[in-house]
Structure 1
Amino acid sequence: MPLYEHVLIARQDLSNTQAEGLIEHFSTVLADNGGKVVENEYWGVRTLAYKINKNRKGHYAFLRTDAPSGAVLEMERLARLHDDVMRVMTIRVDEHQEGPSVQMQKREERGERGDRGDRGDRPRGDRPDRGDRPRDDRPRDGDRGGERRDRN
Structure 2
Amino acid sequence: MKHYEVLFIAKPTLTEDETNKQVDFVKEVITKNGGEIASVQEMGTRRLAYPIKKYERGTYFVVYFIAPTALIAELVRNIRNNENIIRFLTVKYENKKEVAAWDKLSKGIKFSPERRERRAPRENRVQETSKEEKNEEASKEVENTEEA
Give TM class, smaller chain.
0.5 to 0.7
| Residue 77, structure 1, aligned to residue 82, structure 2 | no
Q: 1:116 to 1:21 in 2, by over 3 A?
A: farther
1: CA distance between counterparts of 2:10 and 2:114?
Answer: 28
Runs of 4+ in 1 over 4 A off after TM superposition: none
Deviation string 1:67-124 (CA, Å, 9 cap, x unpaired) is 112212111111011100111100101312323166xx9xx8983552277xxxxxxx
Unaligned runs of 5+ in 1: 118-152
| Residue 42, structure 1, aligned to residue 48, structure 2 | no
Q: 1:62 to 1:114 in 2, by over 3 A?
A: same
Deviation string 1:28-52 (CA, Å, 9 cap, x unpaired) is 1111111111111111211101100
SS at match of 2:108: coil
| Residue 63, structure 1, aligned to residue 63, structure 2 | yes
* 2:11 aligned partner: 11
Aligned positions, number: 113
For residues 114-133 of structure 1, the aligned pairs below 5 Å read: 114-115=120-121
Contact 1:5 1:65 in 2 (8 A): yes
For residues 110-149 of structure 1, the aligned pairs below 5 Å read: 111-112=116-117, 113-115=119-121
Superposed CA RMSD: 2.3
* 2:108 aligned partner: 100
Q: 1:49 to 1:34 in 2, by over 3 A?
A: same
* 2:20 aligned partner: 20
2: CA distance between counterparts of 1:110 and 1:79?
Answer: 37
Q: Which one has the bigger helix percentage? A: 2
Task: Please report the TM-score for the alignment, with normalisation by the length of structure 1.
Answer: 0.66
Q: 1:52 to 1:33 in 2, by over 3 A?
A: same
SS at match of 1:111: helix
2: CA distance between counterparts of 1:110 and 1:56?
Answer: 34
SS at match of 1:34: coil
2: CA distance between counterparts of 1:11 and 1:88?
Answer: 12
* Residue 23 of structure 1, CA deviation: 1.1
2: CA distance between counterparts of 1:48 and 1:23?
Answer: 19
The structure whose Rg is larger is 1
